[in-house]
Amino acid sequence: MTTTSAKTRAPAMVLLALATGGFAIGTTEFATMSLLPFVAEGLGIDEPTAGHIISAYAIGVVVGAPVLAVLSARIRRRALLVALMLFFALGNALSAIAPSYHWMLAFRFLSGLPHGAYFGIAALVAAGVMGPEQRTTAVGRVMLGLTVATIIGVPLANTIGQLMGWRWGFAIVAAIALLTALLVRLYAPDDPVAADASPLRELGALGRRQVWLTLATGAIGFGGLFAVYAYLQSTLTEVTGMAALATPLVFAAFGVGMTLGNLVVPRFADRALVPTATAMLALSAVALALFPLAAQRVPTVMLDVLAIGFSASLATVLQTRLMDVAGDAQALAAALNHSAFNTANAIGPLLGGLAIAAGWGWTSTGYVGCALALLGLVIWGIATWDARRTERKPRIGGVAHAV
């Protein structure tokens, strides 16, 4: 019996199938933030409380990514990706009919469970198709689905949500997830599971210090983006003075920035990963610091939000970094990257909401975000220093002892 190798498949179709899943995930993740005022009104709660449904989804990602990656170590990747998308479709369909705030919390948690595992496994499949020298580029192509979602999916869901009701945003995502399951089944390679694959081998990633430092960089440094994005809709209407139906233009600018970042930045990361990640964290800190000033006018807020979106390509860069430092535990490390970024998705809106509730104003999220980005930059500096220190350690018996 023979299996279909990734090399016999058209890379473009494989990447398209995988990116469609990214489109579904990106639409639900970011559209929920843009629809937050309408969800709050529909469920009869205030907006800071509604922000908890974002955190519930993020917690689902944080929990689901490592658990599913470990438990599915012996499952073929194509079958796993299909199953994850079907579960994702179910979670979003249930969200569309949630009868109350507490049910919504539960359904968003369920929707988040397959998120990290899907992106992690999809990244490994894409890297296998493109080859080791273009790993970051391959991951970037998968992430393009998410970035295109911020240009098309989020503004579309936002507009439909305003015109037809916010529940339709989740229903659309469920339909796209079903389409993804079909495309992955048709085009993704059905490579066999490695003979030595096991949950225990995947857990080996948890013993590596560089894995934890890389994850901490994303969990903290990326929180700033979410602190601003979660309350961007209200900031645009209350501070910038935009009409609600015009705000999707700014969300689209964010998506354009993310797309440009994932087209351009991975090429640099494939050549010099550490300086590229440093530059993205620094760009994020500057753009977030400027947000309170930029939010006063439509042209400046669009440019600033575009720059914040561009810095989001950090996610792709750190995904490759984890491949480098995870050893044999590739699936768990790749999935944990999305646990880290959804930890940021929980931290950012929480701290941003606290700043708003304290009376500091809608634009205070920019200062909160800048502080988080700078802290992420410090952690990344520690990770870089630690890696260099480890490389300089003397070899014992001809073998360097890495951690």
Q: Is residue 333 part of a domain?
A: yes
Confidence band (pLDDT; 50, 70, 90) for 181?
very high
* pLDDT surpassing 60 at residue 2: no
Q: Which two tokens stand for residue 39?
A: 């969800």
Q: Is residue 238 part of a domain?
A: yes
What does the buried/exposed string (b/e) look like for 302-338 if buried means 16 or more CB atoms within 10 Å of the residue's CB?
A: bbbbbbbbbbbbbbbbbbbbbbebbbebbbbbbbbbb
Mean per-residue pLDDT for 353-360? 90
* pLDDT surpassing 90 at residue 383: yes
* pLDDT surpassing 70 at residue 402: no
- Quick one: which of 11, 6, 25 has its CA closest to 64? 25
* pLDDT surpassing 60 at residue 401: no
| pLDDT tens sequence across 3-31 | 444 444 578 888 899 999 999 998 887 78
Instruction: Count the Cβ atoms, other than its own, within 10 Å of residue 358.
Output: 9
Mean per-residue pLDDT for 249-269? 88
Top mean-pLDDT range of 57-61, 116-120, 234-238 = 234-238
Mean per-residue pLDDT for 378-399? 74
Supply the pLDDT for residue 59: 85
Q: What percent of the chain has pLDDT over 90?
A: 38
Q: Is residue 394 part of a domain?
A: no
Report CA-CA distances (Å) from 211 to 34, 89, 333: 32, 30, 7
Give DSSP secondary structure letters for 316-355.
HHHHHHHHHHSTT-HHHHHHHHHHHHHHHHHHHHHHHHHH
Q: Is residue 107 part of a domain?
A: yes
Domain that holds residue 362: 7-388
The model's pTM = 0.75
Q: Is residue 402 part of a domain?
A: no
Q: Is residue 310 part of a domain?
A: yes
Q: Identify the CATH number of the domain in which residue 122 sits.
A: 1.20.1250.20
Mean per-residue pLDDT for 66-80? 84
Q: What is the largest CA-CA distance in the chain?
A: 69
Q: Is residue 335 part of a domain?
A: yes
Mean per-residue pLDDT for 54-59? 84
How confident is the prediction for the chain on average, in pLDDT?
A: 85
* pLDDT surpassing 60 at residue 290: yes
Q: Is residue 395 part of a domain?
A: no
- Alpha-carbon distance 131 to 368, whole Å? 39
Supply the pLDDT for residue 179: 96
Q: What's the structural domain count of the chain? A: 1
Mean per-residue pLDDT for 209-238? 91
Supply the pLDDT for residue 205: 64
